[in-house]
Structure 1
Amino acid sequence: MITNPSVNGRFGTWLGESIWPRGNLTAVILGGGETDSRRLFPLTQFRTLPAIPFGGSYRIIDLLMSNLINSGVNKIHILTAYNSYSLNRHLQRTYDMSGGVQYGGDGYIEVVANSMSPDSQQWVTGTAGIVRHFMSYFDSNMKNRFIQDIMVLPGDHVYSTDLTPIISYHHSTGADLTIVCRPVSGEQASRLGVVKLDSDNRIRTFREKPDPDQLSELAMSDDEMRPFLSATVQQQMHQLHSRRHSRRDAGLGFGGHSPGPGSSLDSGSAAASFDEGDGVGAARALWAARGHARVGGGAGGRVVLDTMTSGDDVELSQRAPGFVGSTGIYIFRRGVLSKALERHYKAQDFGRQIIPELIREGLRVQAYRLPGYWADVGGSVGDFYQANLALLEDPPSIDLNRPTEAPLFKFPLTIPASQLRGTRISRCIVSAGCILHEANLRNSVIGPRSIVGSRVTVTDSVIMGADHYEHEKPQQRPLSPTYPPMGIGEGSVVQRAIVDLNCRVGRNVALVNKEGVYESFDRAVQGMYVRDGITVITREAVIPDGTVL
């Protein structure tokens, strides 16, 4: 087992040994395309989706970057394609080896922009198309010659997890592709890629965003899902040893398999193995593969499933079908990915085209269950809003007060602590540098440098704050009733709303969606929208005194 002594992450050791050769894997983050960003308009009017502020002081991409850095993955590429200036600036200021987050050793973080080239005279689209464009650059760079596995991750998901067990599971099973999955309900399944598994958690069917009439073919019973959800350590030990001996008898190494028709496995990407009696090797795989689902009592051993956007377990009735949905996190063997993109050179999407073809060709595609909280905030404004408020639950969806060995990284703000005078706060996150005077805040996320005047009520809202104070930049025009100062003016009411950065909300303004509409662009000129029933105030919008929405 190769050990990289220059990396000292929180995770990645088992009984004193390195679990996986860190230097042999790179992470590729999809930085958000035009189609993805359109779903969260107007929050993406001036930025790409991963750059949207989240949870007060963070950006969406910060949670993903923290997962990678804490897991020891220190070779990271971010593929940008649309409206990426804000994202590029944030990455440069936050994750710089000379003054930002120290990821150290032989690691690097690179931004790779979508561009035209002699090989392609048009902008590439789709997840597979963007990664194909990246691979032409990646394969030509000598520093990447030792990379064996490529982890592809969407940049618009919110979760906090140790990625080490996923990578170890990928190696231990000898998979050509490992897809990180979660149990989901039928309503959620139509928004994701849905897989169907065999008893070894090998994916036999993959269908991207299936139509409702296709779901019956993909439903799995409790008995079928049990190996994915709740296999015990002893069962997995038996499975691993059985596989090892059966493959040895067949002349294959542990994790090996006979390539199916059209298979393009390269001999240099052999699976991890362990010797007879090597308890450490078996323990690595078992520890990596363990799920944390409960199995309830009752007839048939009713299974307790996760939801798509919550870490809490939710009981489904015995008659309700279960589904396994893809999170869009993939680990490819490098040779498999390169040859698949070359062979299916017209394919533009992993879920709709590449992955179903790999399964059809007989390659080994495994599913790994992601425990805990996970949310796709790129689906709609409502998803983003709910993910922010989930941070306020007890316990929170993601604990922002992390121990020092696994922190959540962000841009280091050099601003003073918040000033609170006569303010009532209930179940809120309040970031640094806020000035709150005699306000009433309930169940809300308050971003840095937020200024809230007296007698202001903020309920069930996300206030992103500002990236500068009023006095730090010259005024564009004199303050007047139609051009209020930055922040939320006295006497205003903000309810079930998202207020973007640097907004100027005047006095006695009511942002309450008075008519209860679900979607409205009628007042877009003023920077006010209603999306999914949520009032959205766009970045740097000016809301005059007395406005009612």
Structure 2
Amino acid sequence: MRPLELDLGVIAQAAGSARLHVGATDVIVGVEVGSPSSSAPNQGRLQVAVEFSPCASPVYQGRFGEKYGEQIAAAIESSLVPGCRGGPAGSSGVGGSPPASGLDLARLCILSGKTAWLLSVDALVLNDDGNVAGAVEVVTDAAGEEEIELDDSPGAAWRLDVSGVPLLVTSSQVGSQVVADLTAAEERCASASAHVAMKNVQQARKLGSQTFVCPHGGVRRAVSSKARAVSRQAQVVRAQAVSQAVTEKVANGVSAAAPGISTFDMSGDISKTVLGIILGGGAGTRLYPLTKKRAKPAVPLGANYRLIDIPVSNCLNSNITKIYCLTQFNSASLNRHLSQAYNSSVGGFSNARGFVEVLAASQSNANKSWFQGTADAVRQYMWLFEEAVREGVEDFLILSGDHLYRMDYRDFVRKHRESGAAITIAALPCAEKEASAFGLMKIDQDGRVVEFAEKPKGDALLKMKVDTSILGVDPATAASKPFIASMGIYVMSAKALRELLLNRMPGANDFGNEVIPGAKDAGFKVQAYAFDGYWEDIGTVEAFYNANLALADPTKAQFSFYDKDAPIYTMSRFLPPSKVLDADVSMSIIGDGCVIKAGSKINNSIIGIRSLVGSDCIIDSAMMMGADYYETLEECEFVPGCLPMGVGDGSIVRRAIIDKNARIGPKCQIINKDGVKEANREEQGFVIKDGIVVVIKDSNIPAGTII
């Protein structure tokens, strides 16, 4: 077992309380004393509630945390009182006799008919680094051992007798080994786990049949009637066995991971060996004016989110918890969002040394220039990244901040390491009309990149045409998409990246144009990783607009925020539910805290947080980004025209993007009446790009305006 640190009496208001650290797992419990029920005046009662703080891990936000808490509570109750909530029938004793192990409810009575241990156990998991169920039960037992005073009489103190309570042991199978007290990283290596109530080595009680969902790596933890790998003698192997197996990449001769487990998980903890680097991009001219007052990764997405939430969430879901975001333009809102949504006080999301931080461009005595490109941005902070290398980081995962996709980076990293490559590029097939916007490559049968060209045009583009069936796509897809495009997502070994940026190419500024072709020509192994999921570059206004509206259209949606296995995280804003007052809403996504008034019609649109849509409005194929705050009527009086934020009564918005805090007066028409493709009317508060009207952030559109 890992070291245990126990503190008693940590909650002043509780009859008994305790806090337990098992390694990095941190649990606090309070228990209460009250009056017994009239139907059982000589018995106590048991009720267990287990809650997970969102700070324990991002996977516990929402319904998953509730379900997992209920499952652990059921296991604790079955361990404390056999036959209670899911335990084997009849295990609480024969003919009223006490159970063979566990608590006898009659022993919970303190004063007959007056006082009893209700054992209303409220457990809060502050940090989860594995073996939560065992930790909750141990700290529950300890909380009940506090002496409580019944009155002022000398010696009138009582404590809960937990001498017969078995120890709840979570044992897990890794290869052919059975291991107890696993850390979160070790749990990801397990093919199955069982909760077993043990009073001594010779006695182990089954807790019934139930399926648990493990929060670490999506492994299903079966609590079966056979207790899986744990025998009746409950042989428990030292936890160090997992570490030894990991180091040797062998668990008792079993080299392959169990079904459903990534073999990468057997080679170490990815959270310690991979550093995520998100490139915030340049000035964001393609997305302008959405980037006029914010960095590109901070642009709102899908009603509640921002673009940066996509790569950060993919990292966290892949257990990559050390993340930097490099930016140099308008980084204030990005920094604010990251610090509030992914605060390091969260504990690094199951890794006590995790973080999500912005690295803004800065000048120094050694370097007096701003970032000159993607590679130069990484080079300028190489001194910081080398500190991570000294702490065990082996590879850098380099990501873009303006892509919409969902990827498990663990498989990406595993393939990179298996191939022995210096650089691995995520790639996918691409049609000719889109190909010139991407880096294109040719690969051999082993996936090694033999030729690379960044955004080629004309004859150079045609030279990069290949048979993309080599990526494993069907013949029809290969025919329609004859190019292999780089997604701008790379895994680079730390040693290779340092050598390339500091020694071989100290003047190279861009990964696509210079570093990758140069690395290939210099003999470094550059590998392609075929990605077969949905991916969209939303770096232009048109692509951004189309990708957002597709989220609300079931006939077009290829990306969904409603994925319980790989959720997209964002800032917790604690907004009220949206209010729809006799309005017609179809095929749309409504963010938190919105008010949509009577008579309005909304179709195929994204309505962002705190949006106000007035009466009798038409919002069709539009994106409203919402507002940063609510305002009162008194505050509106200081605005020209006294316009509130949002869309005024009787207005029409069609094929448009309304940026945050914009004020559109009553009876306006934002419809691109003349079908203009491009227009710059910033002084009037809007721009037209690709035929899409973009109302600029904080702009005022007077009542009756027609665009």
TM-score tier by shorter-chain length is: 0.7 to 0.9
Offset at 1:107? 1.8
Q: Which amino acid aligns with 2:440?
A: V
> Residue in 2 aligned with 1:363?
524
In 2, the alpha carbon distance for the partners of 1:471 and 1:119 equals 50
> Residue in 2 aligned with 1:304?
477
1:398 to 2:559 alignment: yes
Change (3 A) 1:103 1:114: farther
> Residue in 2 aligned with 1:236?
none
In 2, the alpha carbon distance for the partners of 1:304 and 1:327 equals 18
> Residue in 1 aligned with 2:484?
324
The answer to whether the 8 Å contact 2:449/2:526 transfers is: yes
1:339 to 2:339 alignment: no
Report SS of the residue matched to 2:345: coil
Offset at 1:217? 1.3
Change (3 A) 1:76 1:142: closer
The answer to whether the 8 Å contact 1:10/1:406 transfers is: no
1:32 to 2:281 alignment: yes
Q: Which structure 2 residues correspond to residues 70-149 of structure 1 after superposition, within 5 A?
A: 70-98=317-345, 102-139=349-386, 141=387, 144-149=390-395
1:172 to 2:418 alignment: yes
Q: Which structure 2 residues correspond to residues 244-393 of structure 1 after superposition, within 5 A?
A: 293=473, 295=474, 302-305=475-478, 316=480, 322-342=482-502, 343-378=504-539, 380-393=540-553
**Alpha-carbon RMSD:** 2.2
Offset at 1:12? 8.3
The answer to whether the 8 Å contact 1:94/1:100 transfers is: no
Q: Deviations over 1:96-133 (max 9, x none)?
A: 13369835333222322211122211212101110101
In 2, the alpha carbon distance for the partners of 1:96 and 1:84 equals 17
TM-score (norm 1): 0.79
Offset at 1:6? 4.5
Percent identity of the aligned residues?
A: 36
> Residue in 2 aligned with 1:433?
593
Q: Which structure 2 residues correspond to residues 442-461 of structure 1 after superposition, within 5 A?
A: 442-461=603-622
Which residue of the other structure, out of 617, 638, 653, is the alignment partner of 1:494? 653
1:527 to 2:685 alignment: yes
Offset at 1:57? 0.2
Report SS of the residue matched to 1:187: helix
Q: Deviations over 1:468-512 (max 9, x none)?
A: 11229x7274466x3411111111000000001111110000000
Change (3 A) 1:19 1:530: farther
Q: Which amino acid aligns with 1:84?
A: S
In 1, the alpha carbon distance for the partners of 2:348 and 2:301 equals 19
Offset at 1:199? 1.1
In 2, the alpha carbon distance for the partners of 1:383 and 1:147 equals 35
> Residue in 1 aligned with 2:696?
538
1:470 to 2:631 alignment: yes
The answer to whether the 8 Å contact 1:199/1:227 transfers is: yes
The answer to whether the 8 Å contact 2:344/2:356 transfers is: no
Q: Which amino acid aligns with 2:477?
A: V
Q: Which amino acid aligns with 1:398?
A: F
> Residue in 1 aligned with 2:643?
484
Q: Which amino acid aligns with 1:213?
A: D
Q: Which amino acid aligns with 1:548?
A: I
Q: Which amino acid aligns with 2:400?
A: P
Offset at 1:82? 1.1
> Residue in 1 aligned with 2:315?
68
Offset at 1:74? 0.9
The answer to whether the 8 Å contact 1:11/1:162 transfers is: no
Change (3 A) 1:531 1:103: farther
Q: Which amino acid aligns with 1:226?
A: S
Offset at 1:390? 1.6
Change (3 A) 1:79 1:6: farther
Q: Which amino acid aligns with 1:28?
A: I
In 2, the alpha carbon distance for the partners of 1:197 and 1:99 equals 42
Query: How many pairs are equivalent?
Result: 454
In 1, the alpha carbon distance for the partners of 2:632 and 2:407 equals 40
> Residue in 2 aligned with 1:214?
460
> Residue in 2 aligned with 1:547?
705
Change (3 A) 1:117 1:73: same
Report SS of the residue matched to 2:310: helix
> Residue in 1 aligned with 2:166?
none
Q: Which amino acid aligns with 1:193?
A: G
> Residue in 2 aligned with 1:510?
669
> Residue in 2 aligned with 1:226?
469
Unpaired runs of 5+ residues, structure 1, are 231-292, 296-301, 306-314
Offset at 1:227? 2.7
In 1, the alpha carbon distance for the partners of 2:624 and 2:313 equals 23
Offset at 1:54? 0.2
The answer to whether the 8 Å contact 1:39/1:381 transfers is: yes
Change (3 A) 1:124 1:190: same
Greater gyration radius: 2
- Bigger strand fraction: 2
Change (3 A) 1:150 1:142: closer
TM-score (norm 2): 0.62
In 2, the alpha carbon distance for the partners of 1:213 and 1:87 equals 40
Q: Which amino acid aligns with 1:532?
A: D
In 2, the alpha carbon distance for the partners of 1:143 and 1:178 equals 19
Q: Deviations over 1:368-394 (max 9, x none)?
A: 11122111111x111111110121232
The answer to whether the 8 Å contact 1:10/1:71 transfers is: no
Change (3 A) 1:329 1:78: same
Report SS of the residue matched to 1:475: helix
In 2, the alpha carbon distance for the partners of 1:476 and 1:425 equals 27
Change (3 A) 1:444 1:20: farther
Change (3 A) 1:84 1:352: same
Offset at 1:19? 4.3
In 1, the alpha carbon distance for the partners of 2:216 and 2:436 equals 36
In 2, the alpha carbon distance for the partners of 1:190 and 1:19 equals 40
